Amino acid sequence: APPAAEAEAEAEAAPAEEEAAEEEEEADEDAAPAEPEEPTGPGQPPVRSAPAVTVIGQKKLAIFGGEGSMVSMEDFVTLDLSAGTMEWVQTAVGGDYFLPRRGAAICAVKDVVYIFGGVNKDDQETDSTLGDFIVLKTEGDTLTAEVVELKGSSIPCARSFAMMEANGSSSLMLYGGMLNGVPVNDAYVYDVNKQDWRCVYRGDPAFLPPTGALATLHAGNLVTVSSGGGNRYDVVATLDPSTLTDKFSFVSIMKNGVTKQLDDLESFFNQTEGAFGMADAPEKLKESFDFLLKVMGSLYNVKARKVAVDLELDCIFETLTVLAKYKVSTVANDGRLEAAKQQWEEIKKLLPDVKQTVAPIQEHRGEDIKNKIKAFNTRTLAFQKEFMSRPMFKEYATGFTAAYPMLDAGNKEVCELEAEVKELTNLANMFEFPEMLTRGILTVEEMREDLGLVKDVWDFSALVEQQFVKWRTTLWNDINTTIMEDLTKGFQKDVKGMPKKIRLVNAYVGLDDAVKNFLVSVPLVADLRSPDMRDRHWKQLMRATGKHFVMDEKFNLGDLLALELHTCVDAVSEIVERAQKELVIEKQLKKIDETWASLNLSFTPFPDSEVLSLIVEDIIQETLENDNLALQNLSGSKYVQGNPKFLELVSGWQKKMGTVDSTLTVWGDVSKKWSMLESVFVGSADIRVQLPDDSKRFDMINADFQDLMKNAPEQLNVVEACNMEGRLERLENMLALLEQCEKALQDYLETKRIAFPRFYFVAPADLLDILSKGTNPQLILRHLSKCFDNVHNLSFTEDEKGAPTKSAISMWSGEKESVGFDVPCICDGPVETWLGSVVDTMRAALWAEFKGSLPKYDEVPRTTWMFGQSAQNTITVSRMIFTQEINEAFEQLEEGNDNAIKDMWQKQVDQLVGIIDSLCGKLSNLDRKKVLTLCTIDVHARDVCQKLLDERVDAGSAFQWQSQLRYSVHEKTGKLMIAVCDAEIEYMYEYIGSPGCLVITPLTDRCYITLTQAQRLVLGGAPAGPAGTGKTETTKDLGSTLGKFVVVFNCSDQMDYKGMGKIYRGLAQSGLWGCFDEFNRINLDV
């Protein structure tokens, strides 16, 4: 920096620093705590780094550019700082084009924003430092950019991260910044009105830290903060640009400088001539070593400064020439310069003679000096060895307090050696053997360097240890491990940054270890401060470290660090991990405890009873499953196995949960079995007579169960209720006795099923209900549909009071079709007996109706006849008449009537026309359904005739006719028979009502042929095909056609061999057909 500016900066540095400190204190005092506002608005800027920021006016913050996601930005966003607003606004920028950038300098003068430089990153991610100057002016809601040409007496170079601030309302200052990684040390002022630049300061960048100086404008002065060395910004300087030129006069400095230079040269020349004059008396030189040194010193100085003096004389001449050009009087100095030149030439001429005169004396005295230098070299080497072995180098345990006196003593000794080096260096240079002292100089320099380095170590040790001592006094509850860790990492970084040479010194190793150990201990301290730690864990820590301590209110960090945690990192980590895991276990056990404390059983009366029924909500079952799994996982944890308390708690809860699970399961089974058996053993006199022993057993169980359920609501909590002493054993005893009753009942039911095989297809609960109410037929009617294909109700005669008797006179289908019994059916006695009578009466009624409706077919028109009997017999008689007519047509063919089949086809068409006319008329739902079924059958009959015509069938024995269902009455037995091919099946007269039927297709015919042939061969059939294609319905239709009850079973993998055996026994004994839907779902072994 220029001398005047540098002097001013040094003079004003201290006051500026004090002023800044005072302002900072005032700001801290005035700052009031406030809740931070969160800026909002659609214009909120995206995340970025290195934006340019300034304040426009008093209440608006502006952000320009920056870098986000590795891309330079060019947006302009403002934030209104007005109270209650804090809203971002994205402002469009128009006008001249400019590159996006980061690190630009920005400031606002009034409402105009000025931007200088920055760094642009192109598509190849190459950084370019910019030197353009942009002016942003407000026009309504937009900003207009103008790229202004740089002009003035001097213009600033390209730069980034510079300071630019307004200096009043008419100028701004640009200072510093970075250019290609090098700091810029200059300042420029820009006149807003004249629009030109001028340089007000230029300094050497070497005086700045690698990142440049911090700077701002304060009261019109440039204030900079830079580094005086190390890693601190500790040099404050100020510069007043307005007065800088008034305090600086280069002409006067040049004039005074020339005079001083001439004074110094004349003094040097005079001393040299005086010393050379002593060489005229050689004897004196031999006697006086001081005289010899003066002569030798002058010889050395002339030799060493010869080139420098010549250059300085030339510089003085050039300076005087410049001064004369600016009309500054230089007459006196011109004469002095000429005299100095002549004197210097004479000295150079005397140099060889003087040198020759002192040569013999120099050689004699030189031997003594050489010996002295050799002794010095030897002594310094020995001293260095002893010096490096001192405690301040070897032992970090010495401590910085004891090391500082040692450093002072060492510094004094090294200073003495440096003074001796200086003296010997002068002698060696004068006597022309400077190389002899090289070893000694290097040794002393090494000691000075080592002393400086070890002082840095102890200085840093003092900083570190004092901080550690302060931290060690921190009470346990006040420890902030985050700050400690951050500062210690900074210490470690600084220690690692020390020169490599010092790293071999024990003091450095000790310092490095101290910082490392503390840094290792801090995370452990943070872990140990976890709220998860319990007294047992602190005791484990004592055992791991082998040291005892007391955790009270006085316990501090020092007490903990005294345990030397860094020596047992793994043990401490394991203890902390155990504490954390055990806390999780504690929370899990606490949650289980709280959950089950809130779960209660609920009770509601059984239907038609005052006895309570147990209700177990789904949440209880879900919680039971989840907690059982959780407890199982916990029991296998090493943290539970290693903690007797936890092991006891977990084992206890597992036992409780097991009891709850067992109790609820058994209790539910007892409730279900009691509910099922209660109506049987209490409500059925027949069963009590048949099973007297089991009835007594059930009475005992019933009393015990009712007593249990009466007292059960006294304890609703699930865990407490299920773990009551003796409750599980009591329930298990009830269950065993109920199973005995159930077994006896099942044996009893089996006798009933054998008596009436259709009971095999009735659910046990329904069967028990039937048996218990069998003496009252009216209560059995709702179960008829489970024992018959389509008998849903019975009609009974009434007594004198209008009450129904036990004499049934007709049956009703689900479609409300009624068929009268030929002979009344007496529904009295054992239910299995009178139900068997109903089956016989049903068949007899259908057979009687069939025989009665057959003669009437030819007596009345068909459209009238079809309403005279049940739908079942209407279809049956129609099918039989069709069979007879086709057979007669074949006989006519044999007799020569070639149109017999065609006439038959025409008859079928005519019958269909009549049926269609009936359908178009007014019919009841039941009659319409009957006619629709008959229509479907007649359509098939017409199709059969058409097929016989198309294929020119001329004999009744042809397959085309033999493959159809052919109805006829057996000549000997008088029974209705159905023939298909060579299979003949007796019609079973099961009442099927009027359920309708599927359309009969050729595929239906093929199924009928296959299934009937399978029956003839004593085999089963398995229709296969996609879902919904009619496999089951076709099978049921075939059963209806044959007058058989087809029992449909929806199969699943839950069906076992016992269930299947029961079904087979029922089918074999009743003569019914079984249709097993989704048969392939049954397990193969079943």
The lowest-confidence range among 93-102, 183-192, 245-254 is 245-254
pLDDT of 644 over the 90 cut: no
Phi and psi dihedrals of 411, rounded to 5?
A: -65, -40
Identify the pLDDT of residue 878: 93
Identify the pLDDT of residue 1014: 93
Residue 563: pLDDT band with limits 50, 70, 90 = low
pLDDT of 136 over the 70 cut: yes
Convert 552-573 to b/e letters by CB count within 10 Å (16 or more is b): eeeebbebbbebebbebeebbe
Query: 914 burial class (0-12, 13-18, 19+ CB within 10 angstroms)?
Result: middle
Average pLDDT over the chain reads 81
The string of pLDDT tens digits covering residues 522-556 is: 666 656 555 556 556 566 666 666 666 666 566 65
Convert 160-186 to b/e letters by CB count within 10 Å (16 or more is b): bbbbbbbbeeebbbbbbbbbeeebbbb
Identify the pLDDT of residue 937: 92
Give Cα 732 distance to the centre of its chain.
48
The lowest-confidence range among 345-359, 614-628, 779-793, 802-816 is 345-359
Q: What is the rounded distance in angstroms from the CA atom of residue 794 to the CA atom of residue 701?
A: 38
Residue 11: pLDDT band with limits 50, 70, 90 = very low
Identify the pLDDT of residue 474: 66
Q: What is the rounded distance in angstroms from the CA atom of residue 806 to the CA atom of residue 181?
A: 116
Say if pTM beats, i.e. exceeds, 0.95: no
Strand partners for 719? none
The lowest-confidence range among 310-324, 458-472, 691-705, 1028-1042 is 458-472
Identify the pLDDT of residue 824: 93
Q: Half-sphere exposure (CA, 13 Å, Cβ side) for 1077?
A: 16
DSSP category for residue 614: E
**What is the mean pLDDT of the segment spanning 404-427?**
80
pLDDT of 1028 over the 50 cut: yes
pLDDT of 432 over the 70 cut: no
Identify the pLDDT of residue 1036: 93
Identify the pLDDT of residue 1: 34
pLDDT of 110 over the 70 cut: yes
Identify the pLDDT of residue 9: 39
The lowest-confidence range among 52-66, 454-468, 984-998 is 454-468
Identify the pLDDT of residue 17: 45
The lowest-confidence range among 49-63, 492-506, 794-808 is 492-506
The lowest-confidence range among 241-245, 583-587, 902-906, 1059-1063 is 241-245
Phi and psi dihedrals of 906, rounded to 5?
A: -65, -40
pLDDT of 27 over the 60 cut: no
> Residue 152: left (phi > 0), alpha (psi -120 to 50), or beta?
left
The lowest-confidence range among 111-120, 575-584, 834-843, 854-863 is 575-584
Identify the pLDDT of residue 262: 83
Identify the pLDDT of residue 31: 45
Torsion, CA 204, CA 207, CA 213, CA 216, rounded to 10: -60
**What is the mean pLDDT of the segment spanning 364-390?**
77
* Pairing status of strand 233-239 against strand 602-605: unpaired
Identify the pLDDT of residue 40: 58
**What is the mean pLDDT of the segment spanning 697-715?**
88
Q: Is the pLDDT higher at 277 or at 264? A: 264
Element (H, E) at 117: strand 112-121
Identify the pLDDT of residue 325: 79
Closest by Cα among 202, 204, 203, 157 to 178? 157
Q: Quick one: what percent of the chain has pLDDT higher than 70?
A: 80
Identify the pLDDT of residue 118: 93
CB 425 within 8 A of CB 437: yes
Residue 435: pLDDT band with limits 50, 70, 90 = confident
